[in-house]
Amino acid sequence: MIESFAQSPQWVLYLIFAGIIFLFLVVDLGLLNRSAKKLSGKAALYQSIFWIAISLLFGVFIYYYFLDVNKALAFFSAYATEKALSFDNMFVMLLILNYFGIESKYHHRVLTWGILGALVFRGIFIFVGLYLIDVFKGILYLFSAFLIYSGIKLFLDKEEDHVEPEKSFIYRLSKKLLPLKEGDHHGKFVVRENGKLLFTTLFLVLILIETTDIFFAADSIPAAFAISDDRFIIYTSNIFAVLGLRALFFLLASIIDRFYLLQKGVSLILIFIGIKLGLELFHFEVPTYVSFSIIVFFLVSSVLGSMAIPQPPATPDRPAKSPEGTKDSQSQVELVLDEES
């Protein structure tokens, strides 16, 4: 049965993948999030496990479809890398939400639509990137150099754990071009007042989160190219990493700062795959199983190291890591996971 399935036309892969994406849209948007409410810790845990399990099963399916362990390992490597890169993305999202004082019961609404936008934009970036590679192979040299540079910069990065969106170009441009309504938004992106459509603060936060994801895609997309040249593996691993991001956000939001070494692990992964891509350009192939082992080693080591080694105490030069931003010294809405289902 497996052999006959493996001989099926390749469109079966895309059909199954499209079916999973459709299931996500129906279940997550249609059934789970009809009303504005804070996602409980238990629900976030179950949903995170579900999407990770689905992603891993899809990798197993790729193995049985192609009967090629290297393709499956390439999928798992790209998925693990994209998932790790998404942690910094989640942290910045949390800072933006808290900076504007968005109530936790509306977090899921912003994140859901932000993730839907990420599915579209990442797909565009991937296929544009593949087109550029086909036209100009030398762009891979730029990808290699960019990944190594990004990894070194991330490893040495000591920026403070707060953001000031009001100083960003996107924020200033949005304020200038969009008719905005300050104050209570009741969970809506657009409201009508006196016959005029106005965009709420929630919509502005959505724009900032969407552009944040685009910024982080500048690292994640070249990273996927460095792991595999199969466009199906690149796209599906990227999208699966994004699909469970919303539930993972609620699960880890209150403890994400404790994994303080994860940034170092991710930076080493970027440096490694940048070097790997550069070596392949000189016809030196790094075996897929070696790449997968190194990526997993960096991830596991950084997580276990964060748990085993106490975080250094805060100093004036290195402020304590906190997922809360500040605005006009006002107290911010705290994201506390409700353990009730």
- Is position 317 within any domain? no
Task: Give me the residue label for tokens 């990808």.
Answer: 143
Task: DSSP for 268-290, please give it.
Answer: HHHHHHHHHHHHHHTT-PPPHHH
- Residue 163 confidence (pLDDT) above 80: no
Tokens of 178: 């969009």
The C-alpha atoms of residue 38 and residue 115 are separated, in whole angstroms, by 17
- Is position 339 within any domain? no
- Is position 327 within any domain? no
For the stretch 244-258, pLDDT in tens is: 777 777 777 666 667
Tokens of 94: 């949390």
Task: Report, as an integer, the average pLDDT of 57-72.
Answer: 89
The C-alpha atoms of residue 256 and residue 91 are separated, in whole angstroms, by 7
First to last CA, the chain: 40
- Is position 56 within any domain? yes
- Is position 44 within any domain? yes
Alpha-carbon distance values, 105 to 27, 39, 102, 114 (Å): 19, 7, 8, 16
- Is position 107 within any domain? yes
Task: DSSP for 129-198, please give it.
Answer: HHHHHHH-TTHHHHHHHHHHHHHHHHHH----S---GGGSHHHHHHHHHS-EE-S--TT-SEEEETTEEE
- Is position 62 within any domain? yes
For the stretch 41-62, pLDDT in tens is: 777 788 788 888 988 999 998 8
For the stretch 139-150, pLDDT in tens is: 888 888 988 988
Predicted local confidence at residue 335, as pLDDT: 35
How many folded domains does the chain comprise? 1
Residue numbers of the domain that contains 99: 2-308
How confident is residue 315, by pLDDT bands cut at 50, 70 and 90?
Answer: low
- Is position 188 within any domain? yes
The C-alpha atoms of residue 11 and residue 232 are separated, in whole angstroms, by 11
